[in-house]
Copies of this chain bind each other. A is one copy, B any other.
Amino acid sequence: MRAEIVSVGTELLLGQIVDTNAAKLGQELSALGIAVYRRTTVGDNHDRLLTALRAAIADNDIVITIGGLGPTMDDITRDVLAEAMGDTLHRDEKIAHRLEAFFRARGIQMVESNLNQAMVPTHGRPLDNPNGTAPGLLFEKDRKIGIALPGPPSEFIPMVENHVVPYLRSKTGTTTIRSRVLRICNMGESLVEHSIKDLMLGSNPTVAPYAKTGEVHLRVSAKADDPETADRMVEERVRQIVERLGEHVYGFDDEPMEVAVVRLLTERLLTVATAESCTGGMVAARITDVAGSSQVFPGGVVSYSNAAKSDLLAVPAALVDAHGAVSPEVAGAMANGARNRFGSDFGIGITGIAGPDGGTPEKPVGLVYIAVASTRGVRVEKSVFLGRRADVRYRSAQLALVMLRDAILDRDKLTGVN
């Protein structure tokens, strides 16, 4: 089966929001073995949306729209999808009553337009939305499937997982595409490709490389009549690549570096604490984004001021005076300070100039020192990252996590643990 995703909203075309929903839906469809050959984005305009939907319905078995189900005047997806599917809408009194009760319970006066959200397909049914007022719509007409979902991710994501995926699973045939992503650090894209060139030949499984900020991803996909066979084909190729690239492979699928690091620490009963200046808490925020991180992360300090560096991290004021706050010496002292303060096995210290101001010829914007402290001492790396403030900060946080991983693996080699 083949599907097209149609995202609706002028704010998407104007770039005022980023379409994370379409990515989520793409993941789920490909996991079901449903091919997505095209994704289209159009604005809140009747004629252009109708044209896009008609083309999508003609070329595909399934069309899924995202957005445009709200209560306001520019929310037109409900009506236009019905028109493109050749179907009509009618008011569902149960949904209308639920809407009225929703507004009454909150003491808000219901506006007439809110009742648009009670309109449902004649050939199809509404899809329950427990996190918002707009139900989704499912059309089944002339052997085509049309699905309309609301745009807010907190409503969209549960509806995809709880309604769309189970429904489509019941409709798909037996061909399955399965894929995994290998995540690789400390190695560039060309070198990765060069190292596994022979493993990238052939059309089933396929191996495709993607350059990311500070890492490289390899997607391995296989097609088979049943998921077990497809999985086996993927796993065999993944095993060959891991054998070739060794510890450069730090993780899989949608698990970023912080997940790998928290897992390594958890398995070894080790802990890390952070002392961040230019990254301002980003490393701590990434570590604590991982469920269960409280076992490995007692805490951190964001020491933006020099006073905070000396008060909370015991970085000697004389060290800052002698070398400047952005120096390898201060980065190392911050890492040690975090390690001592929180009694952790590892300490991370980051100090740099994220910009846009504050650079000098000797210490330009983008200069960052990152230190990792452990029982073996401190390793400090100097980097000059190109890009804007957000880029410098992101790359710094990423490198700090990679260096922490290196330190954990180095410790394994010394202690014989693996």
Min Cβ gap A358→B in Å is 8
Is A294 at the interface (CB under 8 A from chain B)?
A: yes
CA distance A30 to B10 in the complex (A): 11
Among A191, A219, A341, A342, residue most surrounded by chain B Cβ atoms (within 10 Å): A342
B304, A154: Cβ atoms closer than 8 Å: no
A219 & B16 in contact (Cβ 8 Å cutoff): yes
CA separation between A20 and B254, bound complex, in Å?
A: 17
Interface-located stretch among A69-77, A121-129, A167-175: A69-77
**Docked pose: A12 CA to B293 CA in angstroms:** 30
Q: How far is the CA of A48 from the CA of B44 in the complex (A)?
A: 26
Query: CB-nearest residue of chain B relative to A38?
Result: B42
Interface of A is mostly: mixed
A308-B312 in contact (CB<8A): no
Interface segment, one of A205-213, A370-378, A404-412? A205-213
Q: How far is the CA of A292 from the CA of B280 in the complex (A)?
A: 12
Please tell me the size bucket of the interface on A. Answer: 35 or more
The reply to whether B291 and A285 contact each other, CB–CB distance below 8 Å, is no
Chain B nearest CB, measured from A26 CB (Å)? 3
Instruction: Considering the complex, give the chain B residue whose CB is closest to the CB of A40.
Output: B40
CB of B299 within 8 A of CB of A308, answer: yes
Tell me whether A291 and B181 are in contact (CB under 8 A): no
Contact of A301 among B24, B44, B190, B301 (CB under 8 A): B301
Tell me which residues from 252 to 310 in chain A have a Cβ below 8 Å from any Cβ of chain B. 254, 274, 276, 278-285, 287-289, 291-294, 297-305, 307-308
In the complex, chain B residues whose CB is within 8 Å of the CB of A100: none
Interface residues of A in 8-25 (CB under 8 A from B): 10-20, 22-25
> How many angstroms between the C-alpha atoms of A387 and B132 in the bound complex?
12
A27 is contacted by which of B16, B27, B280 (Cβ under 8 Å)? B16
If A189-B70, A302-B299 touch, whether A217 touches B27 (CB-CB below 8 Å) is no
A179 at the interface (CB under 8 A from B): yes
Instruction: Please tell me if A232 contacts chain B, counting CB pairs below 8 Å.
Output: no
> A22 touches which one: B15, B108, B305 (CB < 8 A)?
B15
Q: Can you add 8 more A-B contacts, CB < 8 Å, to A11-B208, A15-B28, A280-B285?
A: A16-B27, A19-B22, A72-B190, A109-B194, A280-B289, A281-B282, A284-B302, A288-B302
When A and B form their complex, which 8 residue pairs have the shortest distance between CB atoms, in order from nearest? A280-B288, A15-B26, A281-B281, A281-B284, A15-B27, A299-B308, A15-B23, A39-B41
